[in-house]
Structure 1
């Protein structure tokens, strides 16, 4: 029985990281109605940016995370302002192709600069530290990830509903044409949303690199997990992405315990089942909220 509860708890911890993978993607889709194929490379790009900075300057992990998150916020803003805003329109294929090109380009740049070897972020004893909760021993890093994910989801929800900037984002998501008539520069709103998405993706990438290894080719798998989180939860719904991440994490944790050779197979089966039975996701298709 203890093994069952420990597996479920570990699944929730893993699911929190999955949810963080999907949060930025859900935000982008909910506001701009586009699928960012380069999202996985933003996740891995944040990790490799952290590798570069950590290799040049010795910084406390918290400081490193803050610096990389801020830098990736600027990168996301630049990508949206300089590139994606130029192709937005009634045809969804143009931004899809552009972000696919960005994904391929970023992956090849990472290989050129860093090579294909796997890497991880050195956080010392924090990586293997654990705390005892009742009869269970839980990793401190997964627990911090879980708490941070909940805090970020809650903060984003509060910001969207209780700040003027959040209300502007929600109005832009509902009807960008009407918002533009009211004097709001929707392209700047899109840039801010992409910047936030990139920062969240980078944070997820660094947390991933702290607990395991990544390579320049890891972006595709992270993108797939992010899409599964968003689709399982429900397109355009932020809280549904949290639920989708937790469900997917539980499925992976249980499947790894029962069938260690299965990899991500049962998560893909769950996605297929959701698409066939409830294509709008567990929470249904809703606007960003």
Structure 2
């Protein structure tokens, strides 16, 4: 039981990996292949921010990491992807983000080196609570709570706010909303900013749990992609559920075979494609 619960807690972080990817695909129908590198950049941003102001609690650095991620996403969309999307060829942004991922990965190696790094979470990282006879870490519990709040907040924002309705209308008919005075480029910039902010924040949270290197992006991108597919394209709650299932599959598999934990998570992804290719939520938003 403890393995399943800890897997679900890990799945909250995995869900955050896929949140930004699901948002970008749902609104712009674009698969950002540099998503994993932005997760790693968020980890590096937090690492250096903690080093600059070590007197502040590490969790407080999440806020500037989110702000930096939003700025990076806004610039990415304004400087590159808006031009690529206008061409109408879905392969153009795909190839562009693939090239960007290669550039970012090698740039991080040149700037930061290939040595692994981590962020000390401080007292919060080692704190635990007893729940029904089980000892659970406070930090993973807070990450899962944060994931639920972010997924719920995003769902509410898209469904209940005026800008959320504009985003959904732009996703469905970008040419029609132009007639209503809406500039899709501006909407896309804000959406990509939110997506990369989520990726950067997830990267920083990851850095407080495990080591990372400039080459960690490919693995994180794979997890994010699996989360979105298992959950169902266009469904945010499905993505969170997909992350939880992946986390459980990984830790349960690791309990039986310590060298093959991630393998069972990937097998779950393949099994989902075979048995339910539309994902858990069946494409519902």
- What is the TM-score with the length of structure 2 in the denominator? 0.97
Give 1:276 deviation, angstroms. 1.8
What is the CA deviation profile of residues 8-52 of structure 1, one whole-angstrom value per residue up to 9, with x for unaligned ones?
Answer: 110110111100000000000000001100000111100101122
Structure 1 residue 67 corresponds to structure 2 residue 64: yes
Give 1:277 deviation, angstroms. 2.0
CA distance in 2 between partners of 1:121 and 1:62 (Å) = 10
Q: Is the 8 A contact 2:252 2:261 kept in 1?
A: no
Residue 30 of structure 2 aligns to a residue whose secondary structure is coil
Residue 11 of structure 2 aligns to a residue whose secondary structure is helix
The number of residue pairs the alignment matches comes to 283
CA distance in 1 between partners of 2:128 and 2:48 (Å) = 28
CA distance in 1 between partners of 2:98 and 2:33 (Å) = 5
Residue 279 of structure 2 aligns to a residue whose secondary structure is coil
Residue 235 of structure 1 aligns to a residue whose secondary structure is coil
CA distance in 2 between partners of 1:235 and 1:68 (Å) = 27
Once the two structures are superposed, the pairs formed by residues 3-18 of structure 1 within 5 Å of their partners are 5-18=1-14
Structure 1 residue 32 corresponds to structure 2 residue 15: no
> Mind listing any 5+ residue stretches in structure 2 that lack a counterpart?
none
Once the two structures are superposed, the pairs formed by residues 59-138 of structure 1 within 5 Å of their partners are 59-88=56-85, 89-138=87-136
Give 1:55 deviation, angstroms. 2.1
CA distance in 1 between partners of 2:259 and 2:43 (Å) = 27
Q: Look up the match of 1:173.
A: 171
CA distance in 2 between partners of 1:248 and 1:11 (Å) = 8
What is the CA deviation profile of residues 210-243 of structure 1, one whole-angstrom value per residue up to 9, with x for unaligned ones?
Answer: 0111111000000000000000110111111011
Q: Look up the match of 2:18.
A: 22
Once the two structures are superposed, the pairs formed by residues 261-272 of structure 1 within 5 Å of their partners are 261-272=259-270
CA distance in 1 between partners of 2:45 and 2:122 (Å) = 19
Q: Is the 8 A contact 2:59 2:121 kept in 1?
A: no
Give 1:139 deviation, angstroms. 0.6
Residue 281 of structure 2 aligns to a residue whose secondary structure is coil
Residue 215 of structure 2 aligns to a residue whose secondary structure is coil
Once the two structures are superposed, the pairs formed by residues 85-234 of structure 1 within 5 Å of their partners are 85-88=82-85, 89-234=87-232
What RMSD in Å do the two structures reach over aligned CA positions? 1.1
Residue 116 of structure 1 aligns to a residue whose secondary structure is coil
Structure 1 runs (4+) deviating above 6 angstroms are none
What is the CA deviation profile of residues 29-81 of structure 1, one whole-angstrom value per residue up to 9, with x for unaligned ones?
Answer: 00000110000011110010112222223232233110111011011000000
Give 1:181 deviation, angstroms. 1.6
Q: Look up the match of 1:259.
A: 257
CA distance in 2 between partners of 1:123 and 1:260 (Å) = 25
What is the CA deviation profile of residues 188-231 of structure 1, one whole-angstrom value per residue up to 9, with x for unaligned ones?
Answer: 11111100001000110011000111111000000000000000
Structure 1 residue 43 corresponds to structure 2 residue 39: yes
